């Protein structure tokens, strides 16, 4: 059995990873339709050694498809949702368009796989699965197993987010601006609002009235939905750092019940999709260069917060393009369809 699969945004950073993940996980693809804007149409990409020409996205693009993986803007996802599901196609969407919509499952397969099936129970077997924000996925991969043990009361997060979160163009801007800086040449940012080479700045998503940017609000709202717990208290500061791919997060987690450092390690060593990596004697913990290109989320430096009871500190690192985006979306499709 195979599926005709459409990839929307095929030429982007996540779109390319969609193809890589489908191939190495041996997802049963009988045919592949690569879709992008009119500007990118005509580009040739390779899947399993076979060339595929990128087509312009239209409302008819999903006819005959059973699965569509979207990595485009929220506006594009909203515009083409009806055409996708009317064609009988399961839509797994990487944008923020539907994440908080009632009835649309927001899924991390290691945490709430049962939700993925709900997309197939609506509209006669058609539907939408929302892929969570990369920051939320990476945090919850480490936090959800601990939440099941001791229940999280409050989370304070500081995130260090790579260029990949802003797409391929931002990754290229980081490379180009770094070369210019090293050569002593001026460089005017085109993709991001501030100089990126050898610099960092609070996340550039839209700022809300309470002083939190969209990225920080997503961490709160999406975590509550995925964990099905609206009592969670979460605050965060998201920062864009000059790293090509792979986000890092420093998490301060207060639990309702006592949870020892030793027990936390025991739980996370057994958690699916999680790898503990550290060498305390050498002060060596997971770094982006360790985790780039890896499926698992890496965790370490777990320690007791000395300032209050029932609180642990964790260091978490995950590849934004993989578990934070493409890999999680393909896993959602696997749970729903296979």
Residue 299 and residue 231 in one domain? yes
Cβ pair 90, 129 in contact under 8 A? yes
Strand partners, 16: none
User: H helices within 46-133, ranges in order?
Assistant: 74-86, 118-121
Phi, psi of 143 (to 5 degrees): -80, -35
CA torsion 97-105-109-123 (nearest 10°) is: -110
pLDDT at 122: 59
The one-digit pLDDT tens for each residue of the chain (338 residues) are 799 999 999 999 999 999 999 999 999 999 999 999 999 999 999 999 999 999 999 999 999 999 999 999 999 999 999 999 999 999 999 999 999 999 899 999 999 999 998 877 755 546 899 999 999 999 999 999 999 999 999 999 999 999 999 999 999 999 999 999 999 999 999 999 999 999 999 999 999 999 999 999 999 999 999 999 999 999 999 999 999 999 999 999 999 999 999 999 999 999 999 999 999 999 999 999 999 999 999 999 999 999 999 999 999 999 999 999 999 999 999 999 99
- Do 168 and 224 lie in a common domain? yes
Check: CB of residue 311 under 8 Å from CB of residue 338.
no
Instruction: Say how many domains are in the chain.
Output: 2
Known catalytic residues are 134, 247
What confidence score (pLDDT) does residue 118 get?
Answer: 80
Q: Specify whether 87 is located in the same domain as 146.
A: no
Whether residue 202 is found in the same domain as residue 252: yes
pLDDT confidence of residue 119 = 77
CA–CA separation, 174 and 335 (whole Å): 36
- Is residue 83 domain-shared with residue 164, that is, in the same domain? no
Tell me: do 303 and 156 sit in the same domain.
Answer: yes
Same domain, 76 and 165: no
* Nearest partner of 315 among 327, 299, 304, judged by Cα: 299
Residues 203 and 309 both lie in one domain: yes
Same domain, 40 and 126: yes
Domain interval for residue 182: 135-320
Tell me, what's the pLDDT at 239?
A: 98
Instruction: Verify that 154 and 54 share a domain, yes or no.
Output: no
């Amino acid at each position: 059995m195979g599926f005709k699969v459409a990839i929307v945004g095929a030429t982007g950073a996540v779109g390319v990873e969609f193809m890589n993940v489908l191939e190495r996980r041996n997802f049963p693809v009988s045919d592949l339709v690569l879709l992008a804007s009119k500007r990118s149409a005509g580009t040739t990409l390779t899947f399993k050694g076979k060339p595929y020409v990128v087509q312009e996205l239209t409302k008819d693009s999903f006819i005959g498809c059973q699965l569509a993986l979207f990595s485009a803007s929220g506006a594009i996802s909203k515009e083409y949702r009806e055409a996708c599901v009317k064609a009988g196609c399961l839509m797994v969407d990487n944008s923020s368009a539907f994440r908080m919509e009632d009835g649309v499952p927001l899924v991390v397969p290691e945490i709430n796989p049962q939700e993925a099936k709900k997309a197939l129970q609506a509209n006669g077997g058609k539907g939408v699965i929302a892929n969570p924000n990369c920051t939320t996925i990476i945090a919850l991969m480490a936090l959800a197993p601990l939440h099941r043990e001791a229940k999280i009361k409050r989370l304070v997060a500081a995130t260090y987010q790579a260029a990949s979160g802003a797409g391929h163009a931002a990754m290229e801007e980081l490379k180009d601006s770094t070369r210019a800086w090293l050569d002593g040449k001026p460089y005017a940012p085109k993709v991001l609002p501030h100089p990126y080479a050898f610099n960092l700045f609070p996340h550039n998503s839209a700022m809300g009235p309470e002083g939190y940017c969209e990225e920080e609000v997503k961490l709160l709202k999406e975590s509550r939905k995925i964990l099905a717990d609206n009592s969670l208290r979460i605050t965060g500061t998201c920062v864009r750092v000059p790293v090509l791919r792979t986000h890092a997060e420093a998490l301060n987690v207060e639990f309702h019940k006592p949870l020892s450092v030793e027990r936390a390690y025991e739980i996370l060593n057994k958690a699916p999709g999680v790898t503990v990596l550290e060498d305390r004697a050498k002060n060596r913990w997971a770094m982006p260069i360790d985790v780039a290109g890896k499926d698992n989320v890496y965790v370490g430096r777990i320690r007791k917060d000395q300032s209050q009871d029932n609180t642990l500190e964790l260091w978490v690192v995950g590849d934004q393009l993989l578990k934070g985006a493409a890999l999680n979306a393909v896993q959602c499709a696997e749970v729903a369809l296979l």
